[in-house]
Structure 1
Amino acid sequence: MISSLPPAPAFPRKEGGSDSGEEIRTTCPYCGVGCGVKVTVDADGQAQVTGDERHPANYGRLCSKGAALGETLSLDDRLLYPEIHGRRATWDEALDAVAAGFRNALAEHGPDAIAFYVSGQLLTEDYYVANKLMKGCFGSANIDTNSRLCMSSSVAGHQRAFGSDTVPGCYEDLEDADLVVLVGSNLAWCHPVLYQRILAAREQRAGKPRLVVIDPRRTATCEAAEIHLPLKPGSDTALFNGLLAHLYQQDRLNPEFLDRHVAGFWSAYQAAKAVAPNIPTVAAKTGLSESAVAEFYGLWGRTHKVVTVYSQGVNQSSYGSDKVNAIINCHLATGRIGQPGMGPFSVTGQPNAMGGREVGGLASQLAAHMDFAPEAVERVRRFWKAPAIASRPGLKAVELFQAVADTKIKALWIMGTNPLVSLPDADAAREALRRCPLVIVSDAVADTDTVRLAQIKLPALTWGEKEGAVTNSERRISRQRAFLPPPGEAQPDWWAMTQVARRLGFGALFPYESPAAIFREHAALSGFENEGRRDFDISALADLTDDGYDALPPVQWPLPRGATTGATRLFGEGGFFTADGKARCIAVGERSPAYAVDKSFPLILNSGRIRDQWHTMTRTGKTARLTGHIPEPYVEIHPVDALACGVSENGLARVQSRWGEVIVRVRTSAEQQPGSVFAPMHWGSPLAPQGRVNAAVNPAVDPLSGQPELKHTPVRVQAYRPRWHGFLLCREAIEPPTVEYRVSVRERACWRYELAGENVIGDWPDWARTLFGDDPGWEWLEFADAGTGRYRGAVLAEGRLQACLFVAPTHELPLRGWLAGLFAAAELGVAEHASLLAGRPRPGQRDCGRIVCACFGVGLNALTTAIRDQGLATPEAIGATLKAGSNCGSCVPELRQLIQEYG
């Protein structure tokens, strides 16, 4: 039947949002750049979102995702009331059940039978309460976060090198540098505002900073780079060990800085020399030409102001910590750290990954950047007046879920994350949750892979509704402010945890009635018995009034008591947080991935993010302008490998590993390195049941950081040949048919479902009526050819298109764009009826093609036509004519490619 999916209850939003027309300054909930945004809610409740020109992270810039935030605030997919075993419950019932479950697990199995798995989407105050409850009341450190999956190798590398988890630089360094080296970072797509800041600086500074991109893939980021080094996957340590050896051999070190501020250089150099003694050896290990290696080493060595930016391509590895330290070694040896335009720079993936690190949201940290040294444990115990205190690290993300599978963990509370999509070996994690006696999930979304397996569901607030703080990649704390009232019965995460703590007898430790009260305690702990010995100190904010907290502007830490401004850079004059105040160069030996390719699995799978989607798409999947660029999960493969595997452009492929498989669309690209394939990680079961790429990703982890090897899984790729292919478009969302391949896509005026099946459908008209219903008032337009297995059917109500289904024996089907556009028409004429049956646009009607510019909804066909017919030869000319590329700039690399191809 054509109908909406079961609608969310029509709970009105509670009072408490901003006044109509009031401008609220808050922060974006996506990546770690931490962009400031301004939000105005009109009288109809629609939110208008623009960049905050006063925020120092972005100065008004927004990427395509941030610009579309106002389109993601609907309540139709929300979890709006508590549930216990699938039935609606009151908050008191749900909280009592959570507390009883924890009480029983503690009594029968001890504190390590309980675990929290939290998220970089939480605000700092939520994180703080979770950490205090687990480590200071339960007495276990079994709290970890999905940030483990994106930046924990940087944490480990910082701690080894600096004695603390300290990012030494700031965003201005990217503009002040003469050379920016991007390692394992598709900055143009994953942190586009930072990328645009670099490009803007180049225009003002006559081409500086120069750009070098080190990445096995040729990504959109390479478009503006002077050098792209497509090294073999996993060979980063060889490249940077070779750089360290080269710097020593060419007398490019800073002996004074080394002598005064660094220890361990000689052992690090000896290890580097043993692995990569010269340029020919580095070239052989990395697959690069000797001239390319020599050019890079020469440029890095000659350029004083160098920033090396690294992200998931470095961190997400079974030896990511060593990759991080190999990079940091080069900066320490040359003294290129903590000064304007120089330093190693980790850019984080999530909006509050840094804030989670500050409060001890990782199982390997305690609180306020303290570790589990006995004196630190005792210090935190005294500050909290804790009845129990964790004295050793807990289970990190992957091993935590392994402990759930082994039934060692009896009660697990998951907050604001979807691990059954984001964890490696995700099917094993799903089976683990199915066997767990108590799974509690706090989430804003009613249907995710993880929510489906929760016995207790707690409705949480989300962006726009909750109050708190976040910290971005440059140590800048910003306020996230509410501008909408809470919907239904949703509550803040800190409130739910506080209520559970009180039920368990810990009420005296959890007196909080506001985020401001939590923040003040967090700030006070950061300065408690600190006296400059610890890097994280924001005690200057410990006495903020509620009004002061509400008005808090973006500030960088450290900000110790008495300070009025935070430190922009650290370590330029030494002052590392080690016992002797010196940094450590770390000896990094020969490293190889945990699993190697072989005849059965000859290709390397690299997973990652795409331009317009975020994590598991629970927010970005709601807006058509973000789904239009890349609507389906896919595997990108070099044409040579595609030929060898028997797969072709736009066909379907099965990607298999030792752990699992996915069925995805094929995209061939000469910019993909032969021997490797790429697949995005965003799709979960609600949108693409066969598209959960992490079901195929290996669960190997870095032994120090616990970060998974998400960039290197041996796989095989084979053609998937179902009996039929099809798609259906519906004005309203429906429960799609259960077939072997299915992807749900939000269009502007309808829903689209891409389908393929292995079972022969005997009667397509009858199948269509089963899907859509058969109201006597409807008009059916149909074409069926049983001999060729083709069917086209459309349903009209009072002349308006309600749904259509197209089926063929191959993936070669009509274009979807013009069909989706018909749903916007109040009535279809005779010409449109004919074009529906013919499966092609009528004369004069054009398909816009897939969306290239998400900010303005500009399609591929409109762009190619304008480039050809109007002679548009620059992205600026395209922007002036069609607006594409004139906002966030994320699509500019693709515009340049189109100009080259069609100009």
Structure 2
Amino acid sequence: MAQEVKTTCPYCGVGCGVIARVGDDGAVSVKGDPEHPANFGRLCSKGSALAETLDLDGRLLHPEIGGRRAGWSEALDLVAERFSRSIAEHGPDSVAFYVSGQLLTEDYYIANKLMKGFIGSANIDTNSRLCMSSSVAGHRRAFGSDTVPGAYEDLELAELVVLTGSNLAWCHPVLYQRLSAAKANRPEMKIVVIDPRRTMTADIADMHLAIAPDGDVALFNGLLAHLAASGAVDRNYISNYTSGFDEAVAAASRLDLPALSTATGLTVAQLRAFFRLFETTEKVVTCYSQGVNQSAAGTDKVNAIINCHLATGRIGRPGMGPFSLTGQPNAMGGREVGGLANMLAAHMDIEKSLHRDQVRRFWGAPSVASKPGLKAVDMFRAVADGRIKALWIMATNPVVSMPDADAVEAAIKACPFVVVSDIVRDTDTARHAHVLLPSLGWGEKDGTVTNSERRISRQRPFLAAPGEARPDWWQLAEVGRRMGFAAAFTHGSPAVIFAEHAALSGFENEGRRDFDISAHAEIDGPAYDGLRPFQWPQPQGSAPQKKRFFAEGAFYHPDGRARLVAVEVPRPRSANDAFPFTLNTGRVRDHWHTMTRTGKSARLSGHLAEPFVEIHPRDAQGAGISDADLVTLESPHGAAIVRALVTDRQAEGNLFVPMHWNDQFASKARIDALVAPVTDPVSGQPASKNMPVRASRFAAAAYGFAVSARKPRELDAAYWALARAEGGWRVELAFAETNADWLDWCRKTFAIAAGIEPIGYTDRTSGELRLAFFEGDRLLATLFLSPRPVAVARSWAVSQLGASHHNLAKRFAVTAGRPGADTPDPGATVCSCFSVGVNQITAAVRDGCHSVEAVGERLSAGTNCGSCRAEIRGIINGCLTLAAE
């Protein structure tokens, strides 16, 4: 009988509710949960495609030791023995855990308890260090606690929403939908987007400020100085609830408007307009994300933003406040249990002896780590220099995602003992593990996550555990028992762990700490199974608490006051003739992290199927780069080869490359290999948005595009980028030299049997070659080669994998690379939810559909997640402009 299970999306920090339906035949479908207060039924393209990522292809299904299959007991015994031996010989700081925002809170809790309470080291850090630790540090400096003051509904209640360092449309699409709908209902609402790139989010902006890289401190310092000078500050709030105002304003006033213009890259007129808009608007929410956090001055940026809200008292009230948008589904949950190396569980501070003692007594631990552990970048440096001798990596892929990624890979490869817990067997990191442990994936996991607005939701299982896969918390607890701590790790279910976590949050709290969910300290299995989404705090014996913090002070510094922090404008990056461009890294709409999940979906690969670099037309011309050329990017740390996307959305002198591609999907596109291991001195967060690089055209002797029913193997090419396609795979290619025998290359690459002969042709004049292989009426593979980037109707070519080619004419049409006049070509995918291409949208516009709504009514494009609406509007405007000329 079909069943429906309410769970939570595993992607970004929005924390959308999902209803998963498992049919009688075992097929899974997903839809948004209309009752979940984060999304009210909305899903983005990634969430809508979750069911397409649940196959077992590539799954790690049993433990392995040294590449051979092993049993759980043997593997866990070995992990416990090697960690125990290292601790005995070299001390507790010789071991480390590197964990992930993909873990559930219960997994995080056990990992933190084992490392900090019983191993006695704080060497546990998380990939969340890479996305939101500057926000944590800024909160703690300002508020005395890592507290997000507001709620999502504030974006809808605000009169002005400032989005800085946040491509909301692509990175938090459901919040973008909520904001876009609010603006449509209240056109007087104003939106300001602060970003060096003109991203798709700017489509709904009243003002786009193309700020210079790392210009945020100068901008918000300038704003604070303006607010103070114009009398727009709230003197009562400042006097009653804060300290440090005069010092902060003095620091902020050091640059006059011309100097601010230089520091920010904005005109004086733009600065005045923004300052005046903020000054005269009462209800202001400032949302910030990775563009603020991922900086060598990230914490100062956060405090510069918070200063403006504290100075005006615009915090903790409906439609007001600074708002950190986390990147991962459980970055917040990890913070709640001390997943960062410089924190303790339940928002307690590792530096405070009182907090260490409280945690030690609650856990019954022999001791609790007495000092912060190594943060992510420093942790892998310690692996490299031999200080860390045993490393356990859980649910993350640092060989792709860490800065200076090649050095990180070398460190992991040289580490004496590496354990990797993951759901995928072959990742860039897992290939260097001595022990592989199979974990549960989304749909199998059972636990909780916390989203960006402090809302705790359940992830519930609706699929059986495949093979021998086990929960991460179980793996950790079993190792803890084997290391001699059995009494502390008797947990038999995630409900028991959650109850302990909730009890610790209320232990000797009495309102002194912000995080308190002790109302759930005695939760049992059935109540946990039925737990509905809720926001913290929820202290024991109390009704659900306020949704917002700090409207009337009550900060968590000892004196109860917030701190306005005096911050200095960072020194700008000096010009460098060898590396003249500034590299900015980030995300795209339809992929997630290192693609181990989204890379399984053909639909999600349809929009952007290969790694690319956005470059301004004048920069491209100066470097001799044309649209669709391949580009070599180099920094002092590494190199990558990506496709050129020439666009004036990118500011001159700046480049943007997504961070998702890895060695499983591209030949040389791990972009974090180029990023220096430079970190914020307060938070330890890497600076991934401002890296000096150079760019040059990659000179290929031949370019190629291929589709194949089978996954290509041993791709012998100077450049390749692989993506799932309906019915098979698609691959972009480039060769440093031409091949004397392309037929043999195809047979090896696409596993074509010797008896199958191709059809096709070679044009010696143009240098083009086309080969297609058929078995019966089914296309096995086709290869298109050219001395220039291949001009092929790619979406149509991919669709031929599922077509019937029953006559010779249809087969030869495949080698032409484009459909006949009687067969429309959808063009490059714009709407992933409904697989609608640019040519289909263009045709609809020509047929009279002159608005996004009209296109949606005709083609459904843009009517589900809405992330493509800005792109659709751009196509419409382009078509109408051409028609008017």
Bin of the TM-score, shorter chain as denominator length: over 0.9
- Correspondence for 1:666: 644
CA contact (8 A) 1:231 1:288 kept: yes
Aligned equivalent of 1:488, options 458, 464, 467: 467
- Correspondence for 1:141: 122
The Cα shift of 1:765 comes to: 2.0
One-letter amino acid of the counterpart of residue 790, structure 2: E
- Correspondence for 1:534: 513
The Cα shift of 1:732 comes to: 1.9
- Correspondence for 2:358: 379
Give the whole-Å Cα distance in 2 for the aligned partners of 1:597 and 1:441. 41
Deviations for 1:482-520, whole angstroms, at most 9, x for unmatched residues? 000000110000000111111111010001010000000
- Correspondence for 1:655: 633
The Cα shift of 1:208 comes to: 4.2
- Correspondence for 1:611: 589
Aligned equivalent of 1:264, options 205, 226, 244: 244
- Correspondence for 2:407: 428
- Correspondence for 1:699: 677
Deviations for 1:13-56, whole angstroms, at most 9, x for unmatched residues? xxxxxxx4211111000000000011110122111100001000
The Cα shift of 1:787 comes to: 6.3
Aligned equivalent of 2:8, options 16, 27, 43: 27
One-letter amino acid of the counterpart of residue 482, structure 1: P
Question: Normalised by the size of structure 2, how large is the TM-score?
Answer: 0.98
CA contact (8 A) 2:614 2:645 kept: yes
- Go from structure 1 to structure 2 and tell me whether the alpha carbon gap of 1:208 and 1:24 turns closer, same or farther (over 3 Å shift): farther
The residue matched to 1:504 in structure 2 has which SS? Answer: helix
Aligned equivalent of 1:85, options 57, 62, 66: 66
Aligned pairs for 1:391-790 within 5 A: 391-592=370-571, 596-773=574-751, 775=753, 778-785=756-763, 788-790=766-768
- Correspondence for 1:229: 209
CA contact (8 A) 2:722 2:731 kept: yes
The residue matched to 1:60 in structure 2 has which SS? Answer: coil
One-letter amino acid of the counterpart of residue 345, structure 1: F
Give the whole-Å Cα distance in 1 for the aligned partners of 2:100 and 2:798. 36
State which drifts further: 104-113 or 559-568.
Answer: 559-568
CA contact (8 A) 1:116 1:143 kept: yes
Give the whole-Å Cα distance in 1 for the aligned partners of 2:546 and 2:435. 44
The alignment status of 1:826 with 2:810, answered yes or no, reads: no
Give the whole-Å Cα distance in 1 for the aligned partners of 2:555 and 2:455. 20
Give the whole-Å Cα distance in 2 for the aligned partners of 1:335 and 1:287. 29
Deviations for 1:149-176, whole angstroms, at most 9, x for unmatched residues? 0000000000000000000000010011
State which drifts further: 445-454 or 118-127.
Answer: 445-454
- Go from structure 1 to structure 2 and tell me whether the alpha carbon gap of 1:540 and 1:789 turns closer, same or farther (over 3 Å shift): same
One-letter amino acid of the counterpart of residue 714, structure 1: P
The residue matched to 1:726 in structure 2 has which SS? Answer: strand
Give the whole-Å Cα distance in 2 for the aligned partners of 1:766 and 1:558. 65
Aligned length: 879
Deviations for 1:722-760, whole angstroms, at most 9, x for unmatched residues? 221112211121314232211111111220121112143
CA contact (8 A) 2:419 2:437 kept: yes
- Correspondence for 1:390: 369
The residue matched to 1:506 in structure 2 has which SS? Answer: helix
Give the whole-Å Cα distance in 2 for the aligned partners of 1:566 and 1:824. 55
Aligned equivalent of 1:189, options 160, 170, 185: 170
The Cα shift of 1:263 comes to: 0.4
- Correspondence for 1:243: 223
The Cα shift of 1:545 comes to: 1.4
CA contact (8 A) 1:83 1:458 kept: yes
Aligned equivalent of 1:859, options 834, 837, 847: 837
CA contact (8 A) 1:726 1:813 kept: no
Give the whole-Å Cα distance in 2 for the aligned partners of 1:29 and 1:527. 28
One-letter amino acid of the counterpart of residue 48, structure 2: A
- Correspondence for 1:369: 347
The alignment status of 1:215 with 2:195, answered yes or no, reads: yes
- Correspondence for 2:39: 58
One-letter amino acid of the counterpart of residue 438, structure 2: P
CA contact (8 A) 1:177 1:208 kept: no
Aligned equivalent of 1:797, options 752, 760, 775: 775
CA contact (8 A) 1:320 1:702 kept: yes
Give the whole-Å Cα distance in 1 for the aligned partners of 2:417 and 2:367. 23
The alignment status of 1:112 with 2:93, answered yes or no, reads: yes
Give the whole-Å Cα distance in 2 for the aligned partners of 1:65 and 1:771. 30
The Cα shift of 1:777 comes to: 5.2
State which drifts further: 243-252 or 741-750.
Answer: 741-750
The residue matched to 2:823 in structure 1 has which SS? Answer: coil
- Correspondence for 1:880: 857
One-letter amino acid of the counterpart of residue 290, structure 2: Q
State which drifts further: 220-229 or 751-760.
Answer: 751-760
Give the whole-Å Cα distance in 2 for the aligned partners of 1:429 and 1:855. 36
Deviations for 1:45-72, whole angstroms, at most 9, x for unmatched residues? 1111000010000000101110111111
Q: Which sections of structure 1, spanning at least 5 residues, go unmatched?
A: 1-19
Q: Which sections of structure 2, spanning at least 5 residues, go unmatched?
A: 881-885
The alignment status of 1:284 with 2:262, answered yes or no, reads: yes
The alignment status of 1:200 with 2:146, answered yes or no, reads: no
Deviations for 1:357-379, whole angstroms, at most 9, x for unmatched residues? 00000001011101121111111
- Correspondence for 1:12: none
- Correspondence for 1:72: 53
The Cα shift of 1:806 comes to: 1.6
One-letter amino acid of the counterpart of residue 417, structure 1: T
Deviations for 1:399-422, whole angstroms, at most 9, x for unmatched residues? 100110011100000000001111
The Cα shift of 1:877 comes to: 0.3
CA contact (8 A) 1:175 1:209 kept: no
- Correspondence for 1:327: 305
Deviations for 1:176-208, whole angstroms, at most 9, x for unmatched residues? 110000001000111111111111112223x14
Give the whole-Å Cα distance in 2 for the aligned partners of 1:414 and 1:776. 44
The alignment status of 1:132 with 2:113, answered yes or no, reads: yes
Give the whole-Å Cα distance in 1 for the aligned partners of 2:326 and 2:701. 44
Question: Normalised by the size of structure 1, how large is the TM-score?
Answer: 0.96
- Correspondence for 2:883: none
The Cα shift of 1:843 comes to: 2.7
The alignment status of 1:121 with 2:102, answered yes or no, reads: yes
The alignment status of 1:252 with 2:229, answered yes or no, reads: no
The residue matched to 1:128 in structure 2 has which SS? Answer: helix
Give the whole-Å Cα distance in 2 for the aligned partners of 1:338 and 1:764. 66
One-letter amino acid of the counterpart of residue 493, structure 1: D
Give the whole-Å Cα distance in 1 for the aligned partners of 2:207 and 2:654. 21
One-letter amino acid of the counterpart of residue 600, structure 2: K
One-letter amino acid of the counterpart of residue 366, structure 2: P
Give the whole-Å Cα distance in 2 for the aligned partners of 1:351 and 1:359. 15
Aligned equivalent of 2:271, options 290, 293, 307: 293
Give the whole-Å Cα distance in 2 for the aligned partners of 1:402 and 1:628. 38
Identity %: 56
